[in-house]
Amino acid sequence: MIPVGSARVIPYGLSGVLVDLGIAEHPARANLTQAAVRALMRALPEKEIVSGAGTIGVFGGAAGGTTLDASALEAALASDLAEPAPGRLHEIPVVYDGPDLEPLAEQLRLSARELIELHTSQELTCELVGFMPGFGYLGPNVERLEVPRRASPRPRVPAGSVALAGAYTGIYPFESPGGWHLLGRSLGPPLFDVKRAEPNLFAPGDRVRFVSVQSGTPRTGRILDLRFSLRGPRRAGLSVVSGPALMTLQDGGRPGNLARGLPSSGPLSPLGYQRAVAPFSGASGSAAALEIVGGPARFQARGTLWVALDGEGPRRLADGETLEVPTGAGWARYLAIEGGFEADLVLGSSSTLLLAGLGGYSGRTLRRGDFVAQRNLAAARELSQGRLLEGGRDEQIFIEPGPHIDLFAEGAFERLVESEYRVSELSNRVGKRLEGPKVERRFRDTLLPTPMIRGAIEVPASGEPIVLGPDHPTTGGYPVLAVVRPESWDRFGALRPGENVRFGTLGRRARA
């Protein structure tokens, strides 16, 4: 049972709280955390409950706050926290031929064969699913296999890679950057497949054993449906003539899936998206629009169409007419079409999540020669003649203290507010890196996995802040110093690489 006095409720931006159960070193941390998750789900059915390792995020959505005082937490945790029945057992075949197998064995003073035997002798438990869709934190590894992350993360880790870091083993569901040690390749089932009733292969409490095999072919699953076969020469829509590298289909996002390892995604600039779809009175947060990031674009109409750019009224395009989308004042522009664009619908949203290759246009960016069809002209309504939505004029990005402020040097939050930063070229929909004064921490490199949200300002060992965007990892190991307030998402999303940014607080604005 969790001693209630050891648990803390910490504000996490405006949209939630972080519950630190105070059991980081407890041998039954995984089971106790999941029992607490179930208790909070029963007590707060309207909230989104997200598991970390000994921590739990409780979120009420970007538009509404979450309150959870000590008495409510005590009542929830006083409910039945009996240990659950053992989860399913998964046996995962692995070809142990990873690039880190030999050097890691040497570091641990083992032969490669001994390392493999140790790894396959374990029965690991899925403590949580996070970081990305389908990624299970499997542990604890035997103490002999506990190793820190690589000093320099790889920019590309192949999908299916089996890896070690800290007390955990993990399997990368998709190609992504990563700093874990790569032991081999999984030949097991896909870790995430939306065609399954539960898309994630692993669930907290499941047991996993790895089986060494010599060779084989990975099993793959289809994440996307085949509705793009509907695009054809007779359908109305837009052909891409040219555009920037980051051009995707986005709608209002898919909130409510953080526990599955899925961020809400959606537009970098929620207001910019709404300004684009607003002229079509039948359009809403469910209508897919084009998000064009970092440069101008050109399209050619097929059929007669009504389109709208953010900040401009609707216009009619004749068949064959070219549409120029110039670079706007912000980093991203939005283009909507009457009836919406045809897009893959995944878990209730057509927003593209590039890392997982799902949603939007076959889960990828649009390129020259692609054709984006008009979705449903019959469902379109008359054009709205209402006033266009206006954007905010705040120059500062307003923030709140983060849940890990006590893990930073004294005055770190104040220095963040007083300093000027530059948006790095290494920025995308996952997050924007900031260059400028280093933020000093006072603890070791990483935390145990903890829930992450859009707007969280995390600080890696380098001391350079990273502001998480709509495609953020759902758990992370870097401490969160501050959180961008939702009303500043549009302004922050508009900042281009190379532009400067200053942070502020509501208290500072009120005195201005």
pLDDT of residue 511: 31
306 alpha carbon, distance to own chain's centre: 33
First to last CA, the chain: 50
What is the share, in percent, of the chain residues with pLDDT greater than 70? Answer: 85
Query: Is it the case that residue 314 has pLDDT exceeding 90?
Result: yes
Is residue 226 within 8 A of residue 360, CB to CB? The reply is no
Residue 128's pLDDT band, with cuts at 50, 70 and 90, is very high
pLDDT of residue 388: 46
Separation between Cα atoms, residue 269 and residue 273, nearest integer Å: 6
Is residue 56 within 8 A of residue 36, CB to CB? The reply is yes
Separation between Cα atoms, residue 363 and residue 194, nearest integer Å: 13
Per-residue pLDDT reduced to its tens digit, 38-62: 989 988 888 999 999 999 999 984 4
Query: Is it the case that residue 406 has pLDDT exceeding 70?
Result: yes
pLDDT of residue 63: 43
Separation between Cα atoms, residue 277 and residue 307, nearest integer Å: 9
Which residue would you say has higher pLDDT here, 66 or 405? Answer: 405
Q: Is 218 exposed, middle or buried (0-12, 13-18, 19+ CB in 10 A)?
A: middle
Q: In this structure, how many other beta carbons lie within 10 angstroms of the beta carbon of residue 442?
A: 11
With residues binned 3-state (H G I as helix, E B as strand, rest as coil), the percentages for the chain, rounded to 5, are 20, 30, 50
Q: Which range among 174-188, 273-287, 471-485 shows the weakest confidence by mean pLDDT? A: 273-287
pLDDT average, residue stretch 335-339: 94
pLDDT of residue 52: 96
pLDDT average, residue stretch 173-192: 94
Residue 509's pLDDT band, with cuts at 50, 70 and 90, is very low
pLDDT of residue 153: 79
Query: Is it the case that residue 303 has pLDDT exceeding 80?
Result: yes
Distances (CA, A) of 177 to 86, 128, 155, 473: 32, 20, 4, 12
Alpha carbons within 13 angstroms on the beta-carbon side of residue 394 total 24
Read off the DSSP letter of residue 56: E
Query: Is it the case that residue 222 has pLDDT exceeding 50?
Result: no
* Phi, psi of 46, deg, nearest 5: -85, -5
DSSP string, 113-156: HHHHHHHHT--EEEEEE-SSTT-EEEEPPPGGG-BPPPSS-EEE
pLDDT of residue 345: 92
Q: Which of 473, 459, 445, 451 is CA-nearest to residue 413? A: 459
**Domains of the chain, each with CATH number or no CATH:** 4-77 (3.30.1360), 89-213 (2.40.100.10), 227-379 (no CATH), 397-511 (2.40.100.10)
Query: Is it the case that residue 175 has pLDDT exceeding 50?
Result: yes
Q: Which of 326, 273, 261 is CA-nearest to residue 298? A: 326
Alpha carbons within 13 angstroms on the beta-carbon side of residue 373 total 16
Query: Is it the case that residue 149 has pLDDT exceeding 90?
Result: no
Query: Is it the case that residue 227 has pLDDT exceeding 60?
Result: no
Query: Pairing mode, if any, of strands 480-484 and 397-401?
Result: antiparallel
SS (H, E, C) 396-455: CEEEEECCCHHHECCCHHHHHHHCEEEECCCCCCCEEEEECCCCCECCCCCCCCEECCCC
36 residue type, one letter:
A
Average pLDDT for the chain: 87
Alpha carbons within 13 angstroms on the beta-carbon side of residue 419 total 16
pLDDT average, residue stretch 15-37: 91
Per-residue pLDDT reduced to its tens digit, 436-479: 999 999 876 668 999 999 999 999 888 999 999 999 999 998 99
pLDDT of residue 224: 45
Query: Is it the case that residue 232 has pLDDT exceeding 90?
Result: no
Strands (DSSP E) along 37-101, which ranges? 48-51, 55-59, 89-95
SS (H, E, C) 166-191: ECEEEECCCCEEECCEEEEEECCCCC
What is the share, in percent, of the chain residues with pLDDT greater than 90? Answer: 69
Query: Is it the case that residue 122 has pLDDT exceeding 50?
Result: yes
Query: Is it the case that residue 284 has pLDDT exceeding 70?
Result: no
Q: In this structure, how many other beta carbons lie within 10 angstroms of the beta carbon of residue 327?
A: 14
Distances (CA, A) of 196 to 201, 270, 350: 9, 30, 18
Is residue 13 within 8 A of residue 453, CB to CB? The reply is yes
Query: Is it the case that residue 380 has pLDDT exceeding 60?
Result: no
Is residue 396 within 8 A of residue 477, CB to CB? The reply is no
pLDDT of residue 312: 87
Stated as kind and residue range, the H or E segment containing 83 is: none
Q: In this structure, how many other beta carbons lie within 10 angstroms of the beta carbon of residue 187?
A: 18
Residue 220's pLDDT band, with cuts at 50, 70 and 90, is low
pLDDT of residue 377: 61
Q: In this structure, how many other beta carbons lie within 10 angstroms of the beta carbon of residue 482?
A: 29
